[in-house]
Amino acid sequence: MASHSPQTPSPALQQAASLLDSEAAGILLAATSDISLIVGSDGVIQETATAALDFESEDIASWRGRAWVDTVTVESRPKIDALLRDAAAGTMTRWRQVNHPSRNGPDVPIRYAGLRPQKDGPIIVVGQDLRTLAGLQRRLADTQQALERDYDRLRSAETRYKLLFQLSGEPVLVADAGTRRVSEANPAAARLLGRPHKRILGQDVADLFEVTATRDIAALFAGLRTSGQAGDVVVRLTGGRGETRVSASLFRSEGSTSILLRLSPLAAARAGQLATDGGALDVIRRMPEGFVVTDPARRILTANTAFLDLVQLATEEQVRGQPLDRWLGREETETLALFATLREHGSVRHFSTVMRGDYGSLEDVEVAAVSAPSAEQPCLGFTIRATPRRAAPVHSGGHELPRSVEQMTELVGRVSMKALVRETTDLIEKLCIEAALRITRDNRASAAEMLGLSRQGLYAKMRRYGIGDLDTGDTETPPDDDA
């Protein structure tokens, strides 16, 4: 809170003050401040007055006869001593913020300044209620943290879907609906078209095929722009690569309209594509996240190893043909809501639920799902990611760090901002190191590289926060600090 140097009243204010008797001065003080006090030279409160109704529950009147310093929290006592010490005849002291303990919840922050009318006489103290400002600061901090969490979730979702886009064995292009320029292409599409990825981006879709396909591609885009739907077209690839079926669907993203083009090669091109599909399927089976495909009736057609681990079964044959509802969801209504949303919108993201294993395990998971009704065999696809359980962070210095913005903001006024920033930085460093070790499966050299630290710097911070086994086998003295 900004502070001001002691000020001497102007002659005009001194003349106005001489016109007021003590009763009128008291009324003026009470009307222009949230709280006013008369404090004796010995620091004892003689009189109190408040203008705000919400101070009635704090029983300010009970302060009369008590030392002013005894009505505030411990960390505010030096500020009260400074106010009493700085109060001089005819001058206003600097404004200082202090906290009063409250009977009804958080401490009450008050901003005080004092004036001593006569030398060695009592001090007139005026105060401003800062509870509204403190509440706004807490709301701002909470909003900022919520935005950060939303950004992290969006970035994680974008990473997962980009990974699926790149690993897909089906050639896929994304083009602008108005210009027909290609904005994205996966590796399978580059292999099918026989062109480097860089030579596909920015090209007109029609230029990727034989000249005879130009009219068909134009009709495809026109139909999508007018009605949102268009039938498949069969066009010839350049360089004698055979024919391919082009299926298109319209979608909106970031305020613009784009078209997703799926290329299904025919004849000779299909053989090479099948090999690619087989490699992609092998990758999906080895993915650490559960992946399962069902028919429209939600009976499982195929599932990967991670899904089998979640349901506590050993082989794919044990789940094939079984309804997914047998293991997914806390109760029937939850799964019904998931499938209803999937039918209505065609996809579901970040659906939080649980997986129930055959032997009683219960795992919190996040589900993303998509419907493919126009495929050769209509199906539903689900990715199921286990939600990690985070242990409560314990600080090696013997006290627990603040775990939420609410806890930190409650310390404002009790602990200096420098100490709060230092402890928050320590907490973030500890969480980042634990995350890096978890991602690299405790490979400390890789974790240090990921964090931008030297290995010795990482060991020093691990010892500082009490993370993992500290026997690194490295005798080099770590630096005191490593950015």
Query: For residues 79 and 97, is the Cβ–Cβ distance under 8 A?
Result: yes
Strand order of the β-sheet with 123-129 is 45-50, 35-39, 123-129, 108-115, 96-100
**For residue 261, what is the enclosing H or E element?**
strand 256-265
Our measurement of the distance from residue 461's CA atom to the centroid of its chain's CA atoms, rounded to an integer in Å, reads 25
For the chain, the straight-line distance linking the first and the last C-alpha, in angstroms and rounded, comes to 31
Query: For residues 137 and 412, is the Cβ–Cβ distance under 8 A?
Result: yes
What value does the CA radius of gyration of the chain take, rounded to a whole number of Å?
35
3-state helix vs strand vs coil in the chain, percent to 5 = 45, 25, 30
Strand order of the β-sheet with 256-265 is 182-185, 172-176, 256-265, 243-253, 233-236
- Beta strand residue intervals within 186-242, DSSP E: 233-236
Would you say the pTM of this structure is higher than 0.75? no
Query: For residues 223 and 216, is the Cβ–Cβ distance under 8 A?
Result: no
Residue 348: CB atoms within 10 Å: 20
Sign, CA dihedral 403-407-408-414, equals negative
Q: Which residues pair with 142 in a beta bridge?
A: none
Structure tokens at 177: 């609906």
| Residues 6 or more apart in contact with residue 39 via CB below 8 angstroms | 45, 46, 68, 84, 114, 122, 123, 125
Residue 442: CB atoms within 10 Å: 12
| Residues 6 or more apart in contact with residue 436 via CB below 8 angstroms | 447, 450, 451
Q: Give the burial string for 283-310 (b: 16+ CB within 10 Å, else e).
A: ebeebebbbbbbeeebebbbbbbbbbbb
Show pLDDT as tens, one digit a residue, over the chain (483 residues): 444 445 555 555 454 445 445 555 555 565 567 888 889 888 899 888 877 656 767 778 888 899 999 989 999 899 999 888 888 877 788 899 999 888 777 888 889 988 888 887 888 888 888 888 888 888 888 888 888 888 888 888 777 777 777 777 788 888 888 888 998 888 888 888 888 888 888 888 888 888 888 888 888 888 888 877 778 888 888 877 778 888 888 887 767 788 888 888 875 444 444 444 555 667 777 788 889 999 888 888 889 888 998 888 888 888 888 899 889 887 777 788 888 888 888 888 888 888 888 888 888 889 999 988 877 778 889 999 888 655 444 444 434 444 455 556 656 655 567 777 777 788 888 888 988 888 888 888 888 888 888 988 888 888 888 887 655 444 344 444 443
**For residue 396, what is the enclosing H or E element?**
none
- Calpha distance 112→48 (Å, rounded): 13
Spell out the SS3 assignment of 16-63.
Answer: HHHCCCHHHHHHHHHHHCCEEEEECCCCEEEEEEECCHHHHHHCHHHH
Our measurement of the distance from residue 140's CA atom to the centroid of its chain's CA atoms, rounded to an integer in Å, reads 15
